[in-house]
Every structure is written in C-alpha cells, then in structure tokens.
Structure 1
C-alpha cells in the first residue's frame, strides 16, 4: 500500500488542490520547528516557513521520488535556511565568548517580577529553552544545520549528508566541530549539562525580562504541561548537552501560516 504522503504528492502534482493543502498540513510543523531551531525567534521562523512552503509548492514537480519526500522537504528547507538570516536572529547572533559574558550578566538570588510559583515555573523553563536555543546561533549556519540534523533530529551522517548534499565525511567533520563547541560551552557554563556548575535559569529571569530577551506575557517556548528542565535531570542514557536539546518538545506552527500560503498562491 502506498504511504499517505506519496499519495498526496502524486495527487498534488496532478493539480489536486485539496491534496496539496493536506500535504502542506503534513509538513508545516516539520519546517517550522527546523526554522525555529535555526533562527530562534518565532517571527523569523514563521517568515522562513512561509517562504519554504512556497518553494515546496513551486518546486513540487521536480520531486522525482529518488528519496523520501520528507528528505526532499528537508533539503528544500535547509538550502533556504543555510543562506537566510532572520532579522532578529542576525541581531542576536554573537561569538561564543560574548555569549558566555551574557550568561554571566544580571544574575540575582531573588526574583522581583513575581512570587507566583506557577508563573516562576514557566519563566524558568522559558529561560532554559531560550538560552540553549540561543547558543546555537553562536555556530555558523552550516555547522548549526549539521548539529541540528544530527544531535537534535537524530539523522546519521548518511541521511544528513543526503539532505545537505555534501559527503558523509564532510558532514561528520562539521558535526565534530560543532559538537565540541557546544559541549565545551555547556560543560563550562550550564548547571543542567554539568552539575558542578550553578544553574542560572531562575537567576536570570529579571535580567532577561528587563532586556526584553524574554516576554513574560508572550512566552515563546514554555508550555503549561511540560518542563524540559525536569526531563533533562532524569535522562541518563544521553550526554547532557544532547539531552538539553532533545528534551525540548516540537511546537506547532502558527495557524495563520497555512491560510496565508493558500491565499498567496490562490489555491482556493
């Protein structure tokens, strides 16, 4: 039996508008989460997702079934994201040394913003995810993409090299370089990755709110029913630097994306 995606692709290539819309629904979250990991800021990720979805639609006729459709989608997405610099991501990106200085700034033993336990729980999670995802921006685009594909999305060097259209050896070389930089930083700075370090997540809440790096009224990552901070503490079979990233759940793409794509392409 043909898989669902293959049927949708075949029908969409033949001009079936409903199949095309269903196909976009199947892949929009995949593209959004890859964009979010590359660009950190939801505004940038939303814009990138829309651009990538349009590229998927306009280049769908070039898909020749030589690879899995999702592999092809990732290839389209990574080709775009390797050269796309989101506005806010570009402003925030910095060298590892500057990021280390930022981590050390503005620590406080008390939290002035709120005493509400539930709100503090969400804010601490927001700081944790924002910090670790922001760290990825210290890598150049090529190394960042390799790190995301391998360490976060769990693609091996054969699969990852197929997506990025590079050799497996080159993929492994880039991964080794990126992995060493991320691991060394987290080992030296993060209390979750290395218990010998103090955990700064709750100590940074007031500072990051004041600097408008996090918005307590519009949290980007924290979810009411899930705390990746707690999950990391329980994970034993992965090194902590990897666990920090894999513990963070995928987020649904904004509901407006599909409507805007369909409207732009006049498929209704």
Structure 2
C-alpha cells in the first residue's frame, strides 16, 4: 500500500472524516470508470460508485492493511457491478440505438483544443464501438477485461479482486480478447458493407 493511502486509511479508521473524504477524492473517478466500463450506463455506474464508498466506510474497520487499499476498493466495486449485471441480466443489444447524449454535461461537450472536429468524431466513434463490444462480452470476461486494459491492473491484482486463480484470470483474458477481437472485426465488416 502506498504511503498516502496508508496514512489516509489509518486516519479514516480513527474517525477522521476529512481523511475519508480525501480517499473518496482519490478513488472516485477510478471507481466510476470501472463501473461504467462494466455496466455501460452512467446512472448505474454512479450508483455503484456511491454504494462502493458506503461499503468502504461501513467496513473500513475490517480492512486489512497488509493488502493494497486499491485492490480492496476495486474488489468491492467489481463485486457490486457484477451483482448489478446479474440482477439486470442481458437487456442490451448491439443493434439497439445507443443514446450518445446520455449523461453528458456541458463540460464533456467542449471541443478538445488538441484535436479537430474530424478527429473528435473518429475518436468518439471508436470509443463507442469499443464500449459496445465490451458490453457484449459475458460478465465474467467483461470485468476482467476492464480491470486489465482500462484500469491497467496486474494479473495478480485482478486475481485478488475477483477471487480467481491467476491461471483462470489469464484464460479469461485470452478468451475475452478473442471475443472482443471478433466483435470488432464483425463491426468493421458491417461498417464497410454499409458504405458500399
């Protein structure tokens, strides 16, 4: 565990609400991004983020500081997102109309001064395509792919978060990559057919 996390967790365990607020500030974007990539819905990602911090707060006394705090909080968020996916079941379709404006605010609509309008459109289309492909993966692959490639966690950390052996994590990563690759190739082919 890094020094800052250790100091903040120790203070938060002692009842320092400012230290807990700093932990929230440090992890809120990471937890939201993880939940959003797993669930594909801004409102649900916000709910999971909020539930994660409630769980962290209520269970902080049981946290074992021999383990990394980031691993513990990612495990909580991942489990909450997986529970939500199980309850929701698969109610999405790759052919469904995906609302591009859902959850955007005025800040997210501002143009990036580094890219021109064409680059922005292409980048947004690519991001949407990848997100749709990730959402099409079964939950057992989706969570591991998000943790590895979007949160950049190690195989060992993922193994601890999802309570699976490292070899199982590697197998699911391989199968998830294959499924994702097939989705993206299929999407690319259908896009070419639409243009011709």
TM-score, length basis structure 2 = 0.77
Quote the Cα distance in structure 1 between the aligned partners of 2:79 and 2:118: 39
Flag the 1:65–1:50 CA change in 2: closer, same or farther, 3 A: same
Flag the 1:88–1:125 CA change in 2: closer, same or farther, 3 A: farther
Quote the Cα distance in structure 1 between the aligned partners of 2:61 and 2:27: 17
1:142 counterpart residue number: 140
1:74 match: secondary structure: helix
**As a proportion of its length, which structure holds more helix?**
2
2:18 counterpart residue number: 18
Kindly report which structure 2 residues correspond to 1:26-175, keeping only aligned pairs within 5 A, or say none: 26-85=26-85, 91=91, 93-94=92-93, 99=94, 122-175=120-173
Is 1:44–1:88's contact at 8 Å kept on the other side of the alignment? no
1:187 counterpart residue number: 185
Higher gyration radius (CA): 1
Quote the Cα distance in structure 2 between the aligned partners of 1:154 and 1:24: 20
Flag the 1:52–1:27 CA change in 2: closer, same or farther, 3 A: same
Q: How far is 1:187 from its partner?
A: 2.8
Structure 1 gaps of 5+ residues are 104-117, 192-196, 204-268
Q: How far is 1:145 from its partner?
A: 0.5
Quote the Cα distance in structure 1 between the aligned partners of 2:176 and 2:21: 37
1:178 counterpart residue number: 176
Q: How far is 1:119 from its partner?
A: 5.6
Aligned residues: 176
Is 1:72–1:163's contact at 8 Å kept on the other side of the alignment? yes
Structure 2 gaps of 5+ residues are 98-115
TM-score, length basis structure 1 = 0.58
RMSD (Å) for aligned C-alpha atoms: 3.0
1:248 counterpart residue number: none
Flag the 1:199–1:5 CA change in 2: closer, same or farther, 3 A: farther
